[in-house]
Amino acid sequence: MPIYYSAIFQFSPQSQSYSNVICQYPPGKPHLTTLSLQIASLLSSQKKMLHNCKRSFQQDTYHVNCNADGEYLYMALVDSGNFPVRISFKFLERVKTQYIRQQQTPQQAKSLLKLSMAHCNNLHNDKIHTAQNEISLTKDILVENIEKVLGRGEDLDQLLEQTDQLLSGSLTFKKTASKVKRNMRLRLISIVVLTLVLCCFVVTLMVVLLFLFLCVFPTTRVLNCFGGGGKDDETT
């Protein structure tokens, strides 16, 4: 149990110390009672502990947290492990506030110590501790995910290499397609030009032949070709 002993002491004007034990929990711990009285006597010799003051120190094998207001001294012996000191002082402030407000009897004060210890020792009741656990859990998940990603480093390198190859292939294909398209366009232009030249040649040849046929050969022969022979028909 992180907080395993707590007690409330009242200041005694006669002894000028916190020598009156109002209550303690758990009961039946004489060695802890003796130790707490020794600590209370030691703190009483410090003038600042006779006013509102908080102290935290190591005593033998125990970690001691105290809250004094000049009339009462509230003490908690805490496990010196990982239990937050902040929660220990929160426990003392909770006991101090309720005890003063309710003016409890020693038996009621003992119940107050018991319930407050049970509440504060359950770290799930502390919002800050819960938030820290959630942050720690989130951090662990992130670290695990990062480790998984790093573990797949080779796969990522291969994926990047394949991506580069695909990109290079696509650029090569684009250049080849552009070259084929340009060659096909040039071939089409060549065919069109050749066709036009051939047509011009044929037309020119026909014009030349027609000119020769009309101008070189005699007119009569041309007429005969079209069925002339008029004089022969009259003689007959």
pLDDT digits (tens, 9 = 90+) for 63-107: 889 998 888 999 998 876 667 788 888 889 989 888 888 777 888
Average the pLDDT over 35-39 and give the result.
87
pTM score, two decimals?
0.52
Closest residue by Cα to residue 109 from 168, 24, 204, 183: 24
Whether the predicted pLDDT of 236 surpasses 50: no
CA dist 58 and 181 (Å) reads 89
In the prediction, which pLDDT does 80 show?
A: 67
pLDDT digits (tens, 9 = 90+) for 130-169: 665 567 667 666 666 666 666 665 566 676 777 777 777 7
- 115's tokens: 């319930």
Angle at 74 between CA 44 and CA 53, to 5 degrees: 60
Q: Is the peptide bond before 26 cis (omega within 30 degrees of 0)?
A: yes
CA dist 222 and 227 (Å) reads 9
CA dist 74 and 68 (Å) reads 6
